[in-house]
Amino acid sequence: ASVVLELVPFSLQCVQSPGTKSAALDCVVSIINALGTKLMPRLNEVASVLIEVATSETEMAGGMDGDAPGSCLHQTMSALETLIASLGTFLTPHIKNLLKLLLSPRIASIEATVDIRAKESSEGARDQMAKVMAPRLLLDPVLSFLDSAIEFGEPSIMALISILRKILNEMDSSAASAYHAKVFEFLLRIFDMRGNEEIDIYNLSNVEEMAINSFLDLCLKLNEKAFNPLFLQILVWSES
């Protein structure tokens, strides 16, 4: 196992041929599934290299055919999804880089008609982050990413809110009560976008609809004591 662990980051860094890289990434997925927590001694190295490779593939992916360098995008997203699902609780040092990658404009805006496997794997990776990473570790980086998402554009904002909704759905009532103020502040910033002339989002209604659904998800997790101040705040905001 130790020899295999040493070869994983090496193979990802050194392989250049698209066909060989694709096979190497498929092999990495198999290794992650087979080793599980035995990957821990090399986890940080493997995660860093995988994010680096995925970022490189993302930059090369636009409009390329199956033999082009960007054709490995699906495999990189699949490998990330598998890594997060298997060892996501140990990937705290990489949360910001994962968000930067998975919410980047090219990844967030992948169309199913262009690369459905890459789209599904990237969505799966975001879903797994919300599912396996504790809210106390993931929520702050997600909420603080809003400015970057606004700069990236509507697909990134939608993907960011989608992660938040999944975090809320995974929360129990006690966690929701502990973090509801931060989440509400985040949602108010989205609701205020319509009055901000500096923010140019073409389908802002779609963003607002998803934010409203997130607000409802949050409210359903709260008891009366936590909900009442929130209700009063939203009334004050609506009249301002």
Instruction: Reply yes or no on whether the pLDDT at 36 is more than 90.
Output: no
Instruction: Reply yes or no on whether the pLDDT at 63 is more than 50.
Output: no
For residue 191, what are its two tokens?
Answer: 């609701």
pLDDT over 90 percentage in the chain: 50
Band of residue 140 on the pLDDT scale cut at 50, 70, 90: very high
Instruction: Reply yes or no on whether the pLDDT at 172 is more than 70.
Output: yes
Compute the Cα dihedral for 223, 226, 229, 230 and give only its sign: negative
Instruction: Reply yes or no on whether the pLDDT at 40 is more than 60.
Output: yes
Residue 117 and residue 75: Cα distance in Å, rounded?
Answer: 9
For residue 239, what are its two tokens?
Answer: 């009249």
Compute the half-sphere exposure of residue 202: CA atoms within 13 Å on the CB side of its CA. Answer: 5
Predicted local distance difference test score (pLDDT) of residue 197: 76
Residue 84: phi and psi, rounded to 5, are -65, -40
Predicted local distance difference test score (pLDDT) of residue 22: 80
For residue 33, what are its two tokens?
Answer: 């599934």
pLDDT in tens, 210-239: 999 999 999 999 988 889 988 898 888 888
Instruction: Reply yes or no on whether the pLDDT at 67 is more than 50.
Output: no
Q: How much is the average pLDDT of 79-106? A: 94
Q: What is the CA radius of gyration of the chain?
A: 19
Instruction: Reply yes or no on whether the pLDDT at 35 is more than 70.
Output: yes
Counting every residue written for the chain, the total comes to: 240
Ranked by mean pLDDT, which of 56-60, 95-99, 115-119, 221-225 comes out on top?
95-99
Asked which of 22-26, 112-116, 192-196 is least confident by mean pLDDT, the reply is 112-116
pLDDT over 70 percentage in the chain: 86
Residue 78 and residue 74: Cα distance in Å, rounded?
Answer: 6
Predicted local distance difference test score (pLDDT) of residue 123: 94
pLDDT in tens, 2-30: 556 666 666 666 666 677 778 878 888 88
Q: What is the pTM of this model?
A: 0.88
Q: How much is the average pLDDT of 56-70? A: 57
Cα angle 204-208-212, degrees, rounded to a multiple of 5: 175
